[in-house]
């Protein structure tokens, strides 16, 4: 059989994913933030931003439809905020790891995110140094909470 005689293998199911890739969904109401995050995240080999959403309701729909490995979620958004979205995601797609990426740095907000079910928390002002390690930790099912300076 020559190389030109190859027959295609079986079709992959619509929800098949490469086990070596990390599928990420971004939920933030600012398009420029999403664009910057996508550029940064896709510098990592095998990391792919599979969808973006501008609010909590759209984020819930996309995560439910696509089941990403990690959802990066802002807290302050119109409509359903990031904490409400986190609670909903934990009920609907518990296998998706949720990273809160926000401008809020108070310990009470971090505690609220943790009790909502977030697996990690990074303050946007520290994103350039902490975002990639946080997502790596979540991809390994470890928590990353920036304020405490610990990875569990």
CATH code at position 135: 3.40.50.2300
CA distances (Å), origin 21, targets 44, 50, 81, 114, 137: 10, 11, 28, 26, 15
Q: Specify the pLDDT at position 105.
A: 87
Please indicate, yes or no, if residue 27 is contained in any of the structural domains.
yes
Q: What are 18's two structure tokens?
A: 């490469």
- Residue 97: inside a domain, yes or no? yes
User: 113 and 86 in contact (C-beta within 8 Å)?
Assistant: yes
Q: Are 108 and 126 in contact (CB under 8 A)?
A: no
Residue 17 pLDDT more than 80? no
Per residue in 86-95, pLDDT tens? 999 999 999 9
Whether 80 shows a pLDDT value over 50: the answer reads yes
pLDDT at 101: 96
pLDDT tens digit sequence for 26-72: 999 999 999 999 999 999 999 999 999 999 999 999 999 999 999 99
In a domain, 1, yes or no: no
Task: State pTM to two decimals.
Answer: 0.84
Q: Are 16 and 9 contacting, i.e. CB atoms less than 8 angstroms apart?
A: no
- In-domain check, residue 43: yes
Determine, yes or no, domain membership for 87: yes
10 within a domain of the structure (yes/no): no
Write the burial class of residue 91 (CB in 10 Å: 0-12 exposed, 13-18 middle, 19+ buried).
exposed
Domain total of the chain: 1
Whether pLDDT at 137 is above 90: yes
- Which residues are registered as beta bridge partners of 144? 120, 151
For tokens 């995050």, name the residue: 37
Residue 76 lies in a domain: yes
Range of the structural domain that residue 84 is part of: 20-151
In a domain, 3, yes or no: no
């Amino acid at each position: 059989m020559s190389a030109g005689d190859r027959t295609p293998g079986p079709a992959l199911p619509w929800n098949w994913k490469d086990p070596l890739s990390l599928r990420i969904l971004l939920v933030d109401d600012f398009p420029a933030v999403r664009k910057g995050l996508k550029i940064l995240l896709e510098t990592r080999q095998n990391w792919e931003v599979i969808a973006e959403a501008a609010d909590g309701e759209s984020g819930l729909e996309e995560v439910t439809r696509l089941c990403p490995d990690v959802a990066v979620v802002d807290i302050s958004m119109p409509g359903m905020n990031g904490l409400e979205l986190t609670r909903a995601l934990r009920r609907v797609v518990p296998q998706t790891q949720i990273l809160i990426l926000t401008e809020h740095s108070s310990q009470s907000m971090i505690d609220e995110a943790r009790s909502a079910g977030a697996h990690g928390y990074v303050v946007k002002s520290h994103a350039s140094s902490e975002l990639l390690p946080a997502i790596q930790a979540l991809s390994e099912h470890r928590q990353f909470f920036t304020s405490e300076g610990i990875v569990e």
